[in-house]
Structure 1
């Protein structure tokens, strides 16, 4: 799991700046980020709720695999949510670049590039998730390292149209910078864990008082914040890697959507 062959990277990733810029974009464009992440996330939870029960969808109940049909329904809901997560990431990557450049957010413009890459993005996201899961099954550290290797699959596919070569492209871009990427993403994951802990506590109260559907809506809204931060982090990591390794500026990256 070594990153470099000859010494340290010539240029630093700039973890502090990436984290600072990510939070700046998240809070500066908070409503837009949450809206983009909330709508597809809510759709995913509603579909999961219809297939498996809303308690299972929001983590208040365990799935019951009593027959083959329930197993198929659960697997289908996972695929649907993976596809929705892929679309959400593709949308937020584009928003991150517009926000970073001080350009107006144009949500309608983001759907074309996002939807045109949904097939390779979803399939490769599933493959990457499996590989990351295997890494975590061994130990936490290998799991984080594999996560870093494939961390920029989404922007590579959406920005460069890397298609099914997205895994290889991500591995190439992250080489030499995987441990700094681990540190950056770890902060995002910790933030998501905190949000999930708060969500789990709040959702139980909301469901008891306002009903399951209200709980699902709130769950999706809170999950959207974590998904938004992580997607912005990934977008800025990708941009920094392109700048270091290929001399490509962020405005040149964003110009592919013009």
Structure 2
């Protein structure tokens, strides 16, 4: 009897192809991608600004200068709201990525209709994954990266399969035997994200001195929003590739749930 798992393990994930496709989708649909990424990043900035202040919101001075208790409560509230925003934007980007892959167009209102049921599970499970990654990081950085790899496609499962709070278990099954390639891809996306954020923080300091805090926040959101979008597109393509390898499901079948 043929060992199916041994066969599928020989098929490469194709990290280079996924990164290339992610960039192609991002720049080929720049208007929508930029709008969604910017919206998520800017809303996140506003929330952090309201609860934590300008310096903490931009990452230029994360040190607690005031009441530590108030800062902690503000951080918790900010995190919960930001996770909800992240859940919505990620769900929208996942749908956009599949439509772009298939060369078809849909309105943002159509994306919103499909995305809303997945927002709460993605937000809650993202917090859980973050906590598990933090626990893994206590031992080694690689522990945190491994946890992220295990649950990397949780968001697409929540959106495409309506997996709800069981999406983490489904992600664990899909990523099995492909976690090290996912770690590599995640690191590449993370490097791009860090570079863009460093550029954003530098520009914030320059713009804030000339144009004020609000304009600086807009500038930061414009830059980091692209990194936000790249991550969402990449995770959608990884999910599609894993479904193709393990279950023989192509992008057309995956995207049919939005019709």
Correspondence for 1:188: 189
After superposition, give the CA deviation of every residue in 1:6-42 in whole Å (9 maximum; x if it has no partner). Answer: 6981311112211111110011111211101211321
The 5 A counterparts of 1:31-70 are 31-62=31-62, 63-64=64-65, 66=67, 68-70=69-71
- Alpha carbons 2:87, 2:120 under 8 Å: kept: no
| SS of the residue 1:61 aligns to | coil
Q: Distance in 1 between matches of 2:16 and 2:165?
A: 31
Q: Is the 1:55–1:212 Cα contact (8 Å) retained in structure 2?
A: no
Note the 1:1-258 alignment, pairs <5 A: 9-62=9-62, 63-64=64-65, 66=67, 68-258=69-259
Cα distance in structure 1, aligned partners of 2:134 and 2:30: 31
Partner of 2:10, secondary structure, is coil
Q: How many residues align structurally?
A: 255
Distance in 2 (CA, whole Å) between partners of 1:136 and 1:17 is 29
CA change 1:13–1:85 in 2 (3 A) is same
Gaps of 5+ in 1: none
Q: CA deviation at 1:165?
A: 0.4
CA root-mean-square deviation? 1.7
Segment drifting more, 37-46 vs 242-251: 37-46
CA distance in 1, matches of 2:71, 2:140: 31
Q: CA deviation at 1:190?
A: 0.7
Tell me, which stretches of 5 or more residues in structure 2 are unaligned?
none
Q: Report the TM-score, using the length of structure 1 for normalisation.
A: 0.94
Residue 67 of structure 1 and its aligned partner are, at CA, apart by 5.1
| Distance across 2 between alignment mates of 1:21 and 1:170 | 21
Q: Is the 8 A contact 2:93 2:233 kept in 1?
A: yes
For residues 72 and 15 of structure 1, the distance between their equivalents in structure 2, rounded to whole angstroms, comes to 39
* TM-score scaled by length of structure 2: 0.93
In the TM superposition, residue 105 of structure 1 has moved relative to its aligned partner by 4.2
